[in-house]
Amino acid sequence: MSATALRRRGLPPPERGGGRETARLAPHELLGVALQGLRTRRLRAALSALGIAIGIGAMVAVVGVSASSQANLLSTIDRLGTNLLTVTPGTNFFGANEVLPSTAIPMIKHMASINQVSAVYAVPNANVFRTPFVPSTQTGGIGVDATDPGLVKAMNSSVASGHFFDAASETEPTVVLGAAAAADLQIEKATGHIQLFVGGTWFTVIGILNSMTLDTSLDDNVFIGLPAAEHIFRVQPSPSEIYVRANVNDVKSVSSLLAPTADPQNSSGVSVSQPSNVLEARAAAKGQFTTLLLGLGAVALLVGAIGIANIMVISVLERRGEIGLRRALGATRRHISAQFLAESALLAALGGICGLLFGAVATWVYSIGQNEPWVVPVYALIAAPAAGLAIGAIAGLYPAAKAARLSPTEALRST
Amino acid sequence: MTATANGVALELRDVGKEYPGGVHALRHVSVDIQTGDQVAVVGPSGSGKTTMLTILGTLERPTSGEVHVAGRNVVKASDRDLAGLRAFEIGFVFQGFHLQDGMTALDNVANGMLYTGARLRERREAAKGALERVGLGNRVTHRPPQLSGGEKQRVAIARAIAKNPTIILADEPTGNLDSKSGQSVLELLQELAAEGATLALITHDESIAAGFPRRLQMRDGEIVGDERR
């Protein structure tokens, strides 16, 4: 039987015609070969992919955790509003504290684009004790502020227990506690039966506030009504801090007008700030910290990449027989290097996907623990496997070149 | 193809092969092997048999001289051209079988045609036919560890012939087998080659060589005898 007759029973003629047949390996066949290579050495593949998974997992977790707490801060800011402005007395040229004039509040109330104005007035020389028998030096650092019934709404806070002042109770000897002050005084509930010794007079506790996130320094204080302060302590306190809610769209213009309005004669003695800026700055600062941790993740990734390169070099040496066989079956040098490159890239890409899952789970656990929203940035979903692929391709360059250079005969002599 | 249909399948002209370190594996070897010939290469170990076979199989290039395989100049051809030659024209059978343990016999044979660019379905079809031709039609889904030595070598032969090569090169194919299965493997190879391929087989066993119409005797990298029956 002639060779041509035999052909008819073998592979279809179009694949082999012309006498200039070239060896081929389609991309999907290459992928199959690479997968086969990994499948036959599962444990080794899993362990070397683990290195990449840990590196990428660490990076995804870092990015996820910081994104989660940023999202938390930003949602806090959203909830509290960015339209709160604070007016405080500044310091003068000589460093001494200025005093806001008593006309400041009525003047500000006349401004356009103002929703609400509230203020606190430091009551001087008043301390807070559970009983008169506590030595007068043990003040506990709790300050006394006079205020108006609008404070809680202006600060977008709420009452944890009892209630805040109204037109009646602000003239009576009643007191509302800030969150930290209540904890210091060990008062958990405002039942209406608890009394505090404030500045030498008994005051009834009518409410306890939740934390005022926009100005947490207020949490350390207790509050009494302004009329009560005026007639019980016989003082005419000047405002120590004025809180202004402006229309959301006019915050900037209101902000620039507040100082001259509060004190037309000495506007430089007034400082105006926007508390939400502080929170925004804190959110940005969390992002800065991430860069450092990402660097650490990159180091873990580098170690993982070296692990893959190492395991691929060993693999090439062990598989000399297979390489020789493939060359004998018609693989070009390029086919061999492509095979090892594909194995390495596939290995690392699998590591990247596992790392993404690790990182997402770690972020989830953290966000539950911190009671924060769970956020994994969208770019991480693409970046993690892509980074794995790229790292694997780079780590596989040397082993692949080594495999391609291997003499096929040397490979086949090993039995 | 036409150049090999009748005429010389394998041609060595004054071929020398020197390995780094000054080892002369081949010196001044010249030989023609006609299309359809069956040649046994005999000689003691270290006589250059395997080196000659790898040069004939285009796995290595000679240090000097000229080599023509299936009508193509091996010395001048690119790596890609030689790979194509091996993929389509040459079937190898090795002493150590070189099967992949994780794959079925069918896939081992089908993988022998991986670099021809044929589709998986076509490869498997051809592989099934080849396994039937070597008498392993009932071992298609077995993996190499489940097969005897003789059966493994039959799978390797099926891999070599599935693509219908014009040249079959075998390096001690019976070296790892007992004499009975060795004999049947040998008969199979000769029978399949007789269907239209050139066969060159290396052996150090004179009794095996005796069954071949042409015998090349090698010693110290040279051809010292060329007998025809």
Q: Residues B167, B170, B172, CA angle at the centre, nearest 5°?
A: 165
Q: If you average pLDDT over every residue of chain A, what do you get? A: 86
Positive or negative torsion for Cα B44, B48, B51, B52: negative
Contact A23, A262 (CB under 8 A): no
Q: Do B84 and A328 touch (CB under 8 A)?
A: no
Q: How high is the pLDDT of residue A368? A: 92
Query: Which of A228-232, A377-381, A411-415, B153-157 tops mean pLDDT?
Result: B153-157
List chain A residues with CB under 8 Å of B1: 3, 19
Q: Looking at residue B164, what is its pLDDT?
A: 92
Give the mean model confidence (pLDDT) for residues A164-175.
90
Query: Residue A103: is its pLDDT beyond 90?
Result: no
Taking the C-alpha atoms of residue A243 and residue A234, their distance in angstroms, rounded to an integer, is: 24
DSSP per position, A18-85:
TS-------HHHHHHHHHHHHHTTHHHHHHHHHHHHHHHHHHHHHHHHHHHHHHHHHHHHHHH-S-EE
Interface contact flag, A40 B100, Cβ < 8 Å: yes
Three-state secondary structure string covering A387-399:
HHHHHHHHHHHHH
| d(C-alpha A119, C-alpha A121), whole Å | 7
Q: Which residue of B has its CA nearest to A41?
A: B102
**A42 — contact with chain B (CB < 8 Å)?**
no
In B, minimum Cα distance to A29 occurs at B114
As a whole number, mean pLDDT of residues A296-320 equals: 91
Q: Are A279 and A73 in contact (CB under 8 A)?
A: yes
Can you state the angle between helices A42-80 and A378-405, rounded to 10 degrees?
Answer: 160
Average of pLDDT values for A56-83? 85
Q: Quick one: pLDDT band at residue A414, thresholds 50, 70, 90?
A: low
Q: Cβ distance B29 to B82 under 8 Å?
A: no
Q: In this predicted model, which residue has the larger pLDDT, A233 or A401?
A: A401
Residue A16, pLDDT score = 43
Which residues touch A205 (CB under 8 Å, ≥6 apart)? A162, A174, A175, A176, A177, A187, A190, A191, A192, A194, A195, A196
A7 has a pLDDT exceeding 60: no
One-letter amino acid at A374 equals W
Which residues pair with residue A119 across a beta bridge? A242
H or E stretch covering A171: none
Under 8 Å between Cβ of A84 and A118: no
Strand-pairing partners, residue B219, are B222
Contact A215/A275 with Cβ under 8 angstroms? yes
Residue A143 phi, psi (nearest 5):
-95, 165
Q: Which of B4, B59, B196 sits opposite A5 (nearest CB)?
A: B196
Nearest to A145 by CA among A199, A264, A70, A225: A225
Which of A186-190, B148-152, B174-178 has the highest mean predicted lDDT (pLDDT)? B148-152
Among A16, A31, A41, A413, most B C-beta atoms within 10 A, so best to mutate, is A16
Tell me how close the Cα of A55 comes to any Cα of chain B, in angstroms.
31
Q: Which residue among A1, A23, A413 sits closest to B196, beta carbon to beta carbon? A: A1
Mean pLDDT of B81-91: 94
Q: With an 8 Å Cβ cutoff, are B195 and A1 in contact? A: yes
Instruction: Map A192-255 to HEC letters.
Output: CCCEEEECCEEEEEEEEECCCHHHHHHHHEEEEEHHHHHHHCCCCCCCCEEEEEECHHHHHHHH
Residue A2: per-residue pLDDT: 39
* Average pLDDT over every residue of B205-220: 92
- Contact across the interface for A324 and B98, Cβ inside 8 Å: yes
B155: pLDDT strictly greater than 80:
yes
- Interface check for A3 against chain B (CB to CB < 8 A): the answer is yes
Element of type H or E holding A127: none
State mean pLDDT over A237-257: 87
Name the percent of chain B lying above pLDDT 70: 97
Give the range among A132-146, A219-233, B127-141 with minimum mean pLDDT. A132-146
| pLDDT tens digits, A278-290 | 777 777 777 677 7
Count other Cβ atoms within 10 Å, centred on residue A200. 13
Q: Which pLDDT tens digit goes with each residue over A78-101? A: 777 888 899 988 877 776 677 888
Residue B88, phi-psi category: left (phi > 0), alpha (psi -120 to 50), beta (remainder): alpha
User: Which among B101, B116, B197 is the nearest to A330, CB-wise?
Assistant: B116
pLDDT higher than 90, residue B7 = no
| Secondary structure letter of residue A91 according to DSSP | B
* pLDDT at residue B6, as a whole number: 56
The answer to whether A412 faces chain B, any CB pair under 8 Å, is yes
Output the CA–CA distances (angstroms, integers) from residue A87 to A39, A151, A155, A262, in the order listed: 69, 14, 14, 8
**Interface with chain A: mutation pick from B92, B114, B157, highest number of A CBs within 10 Å:** B114
The rounded distance, in Å, linking the Cα atoms of B166 and B164 is: 7
Average pLDDT over residues A334-354: 95
Question: What pTM did the predictor assign?
Answer: 0.74
Distance, in angstroms, between B162 CA and closest chain A CA? 7
List pLDDT tens digits, range B26-71: 999 999 999 999 999 999 988 999 999 999 999 999 999 999 999 8
State how far the Cα of B158 lies from the Cα of A276, in Å rounded to an integer: 78
Bridge partners of residue B91, in order along the sequence: B168
Hey, are the CB atoms on B60 and A408 less than 8 Å from each other? yes
Residue with tokens 């991986």, as numbered in its chain? B114
**Residue A321 sits at the chain B interface (C-beta within 8 Å):** yes
Which residues 256-315 of chain A have a CB within 8 Å of chain B? none
- What residues of B are in contact with residue A406 (Cβ under 8 Å)? none
CA A42 to chain centre: 37
pLDDT of residue A329: 94
Contact B197, B118 (CB under 8 A): no
Count CB-CB contacts under 10 A for residue B229.
8
Contact A24 B117 (CB under 8 A): yes
Q: How far is A313 from chain B (nearest CA, A)?
A: 20
Largest CA distance in chain B: 50
C-beta separation of A241 from A87 below 8 A: yes
Mean pLDDT (chain B, rounded): 91
The whole-number pLDDT of residue A312 equals 94
Q: What is the pLDDT of residue A3?
A: 41
Helices A320-328 and A275-318: crossing angle in degrees, nearest 10, is 70
CB pairs under 8 A between A and B: 148
pLDDT of residue B1 exceeding 70:
no
Would you state the structure tokens that stand for residue A393, as one six-digit string?
């391709």
Interchain contact, A40 vs B102, CB within 8 Å: yes
* DSSP at A96: P
- Is A7 in contact with B103 (Cβ distance < 8 A)? no
Residue contact A330–B88, C-beta within 8 A: yes
CA distance A19 to B57: 17
Asked if pLDDT for residue B88 goes beyond 50, the answer is yes
**pLDDT at position A233, please?**
84
CA neighbor of A190 nearest in space, from A163, A171, A225, A165:
A163
Question: B115-127 burial, b for 16+ CB within 10 Å, e for fewer?
Answer: bbbbebebbbbbb
- A31 in contact with B, Cβ within 8 Å: no
Total residues belonging to chain A: 415
Helix (H, G, I), strand (E, B) or coil at B59: coil
Q: Which of A152-156, A232-236, B68-72 has the lowest mean pLDDT?
A: A232-236
* Measured CA distances, A24 to A60, A331, A333, B201, B221 (Å): 39, 8, 12, 28, 35
User: What percent of chain A is predicted at pLDDT more than 70?
Assistant: 93
Spell A257-268 as b/e; 16+ CB within 10 A means b.
bbbebbbeebee
Whole-number pLDDT of residue A18: 45
Residues of A85-108 as b/e, b for ≥16 C-beta within 10 angstroms? bbbbbbeeeeeeebebbeebbeeb
Q: Where are the beta strands (DSSP E) in A247-386?
A: 270-273
User: What pairing do the DSSP bridges indicate for beta strands A143-147 and A114-122?
Assistant: antiparallel
